[in-house]
Amino acid sequence: MKIGLTVSQRIVVVFVCFAVAIIGFMVKLPSGFRHVDKELHATFYFLAAAFLNVLFTKSNLARHVLIFIALYVFGMVIEYGQAYSNKFFHSRIHGRFDPEDLQWNLKGLVAFSLLWFIYTTVILTYNKVTLKNKT
């Protein structure tokens, strides 16, 4: 899939999106969504992995693994940041560090990785068969 953006434009898009995500994760979730908090974590990390893989990987396993690790570390930093912000502001602006959130982040990342693996395997196999049939 071709994206008509330069690498520097892609990086700017990523920084803007993650700045919005950080702000979103640092404020308290509206009460109407609190019963699906864990599912929202998995969904966000699934979509974030998809977004970054479409922008940067071109079916490259090393880049996919790097994105996976970076997103998982991002999730840990956010969880620690939420806990620290409550101490820093001496007010509860968010919940607490929740290891379950990390587990659901990981579930979203693993779900996307499985889908990515299946997709790239099918595409690579199709390309090999197509190339072989042309010769």
- pLDDT 10s digits, 32-69: 777 788 899 999 999 999 999 998 877 788 999 999 99
Least Cα distance to 75 among 41, 43, 116 occurs for 41
Q: CB neighbours of 93 closer than 8 A, spacing ≥ 6?
A: 26, 27, 28, 85, 86
pLDDT of residue 85: 74
pLDDT higher than threshold 70 for residue 95: no
**pTM attached to this predicted model:** 0.81
Average pLDDT, the chain: 85
CA distance 58 to 111: 19
CA distance 33 to 95: 14
Percent of the chain with pLDDT over 90: 44
DSSP 28: P
pLDDT higher than threshold 90 for residue 18: no
